[in-house]
Amino acid sequence: MNNRLFLSILGSISTIAIIGFLFLSYIKLDEPLFFEQYYEQQVTVLSDGDLDSHGGEFELKYLTNAFEDKTVIHVEFPEEPDLAFQASEYPFGISPNSTPTPEETKGPYSVRTVYVQPLELFGAEQFDQTTLTQVKLFFSDNSSMTVDIGEVNFYTVSPDQLDTEPLNFFSSTSTSEGDTSHFYEVKSEVTLTGIHSEHLDKYADWINFKINDQPLETWIGKTFQSGETISGSSEMVENYNRDTLDRFTEIKLRPELTLTDAEGQQHTSRTFEIEDREAFTFFNLLEYVKARGAL
């Protein structure tokens, strides 16, 4: 009797182990999956016309198998072959040999970040109005792949522009749901006369962008007084039914505001930021993998 019970338990454990092994084999990724991202990315032009590479740094995120050995060591952008970048899966300034590869592990999957920084080989003007939609990635095992990444839209600013902006940033808040608020002091009287963003209209259905808790468009033509405190906030629309791929699209937008001062001179400001990123779990990552057709 005891032998039969032992064999029965052993058989059940073996069956569960086999099912678990087959399931993990089934959901294992054949290659990394890169998330789409839509960024409006600032590059600062220094006084000598060169770029401040730290100001142009951005991130690419991808999904791979947990504890994958290979890492991204270099990137190229086919649309702009003359622009040079450095890339690492470690934040710049941290030695790759000092810590394990940073990753956010969820069951058999791992979310990783590729940090990308322009190299100071060319003048910053080459980045102005440049758009990147594809990247060729080179890995530490000598493999490579070319993938779509959404859109990274560059724009340039100078330190003088930043110094003369009529809005002075002083604090911000954010929540785990993706809502953000940024607070500014108005340095001199200005009227909001225009708003432009490469992508804001595309995401207007699920992101509410407001100034002083009122819809952005209602502020066109309104005047802000010197010393006034204003807030720019973005919040996710409750219960908006986005599809799986949209939920995993990362957004970092900085709408361009046109502000006209009392003398009629126009200033542009991209001080407000709008961000959205899905919180990762094993189950929603599995849903994403299915939506990408990778199973």
pLDDT score at 25: 62
Q: What is the pLDDT of residue 242?
A: 77
Residue 153 pLDDT > 80: yes
Which of 9-18, 28-37, 40-49, 160-169 has the highest mean predicted lDDT (pLDDT)?
28-37
CA atoms within 13 Å, Cβ hemisphere of 280? 21
**Which pLDDT value is given to residue 84?**
83
Rounded Cα–Cα distance for residues 203 and 40 (Å): 14
pLDDT at 278: 77
Q: How many helices (H) and strands (E) does the chain have?
A: 4, 21
Q: Which residue has 């930043």 as its token pair?
A: 162
The secondary structure of residue 53, as a DSSP letter, is G
Contact call for residues 149 and 36 (beta carbons, < 8 A): yes
Over residues 21-33, the mean pLDDT reads 75
Task: Please state, in angstroms and as integers, the Cα–Cα distance from residue 62 to each residue in 29, 114, 291, following that order.
Answer: 12, 8, 15
Give the pLDDT score at 163: 74
How do strand 85-88 and strand 256-261 relate by DSSP bridges? unpaired
What is the average per-residue pLDDT within 205-209? 79
Residue located via tokens 């290979």: 70
Q: Is 151 helix (H, G, I), strand (E, B) or coil?
A: strand
Least confident of 69-78, 96-105, 151-160, 226-235: 96-105
How much of the chain exceeds pLDDT 90, in percent?
25
For tokens 């086919």, name the residue. 78
pTM of the predicted structure, to 2 decimals = 0.82
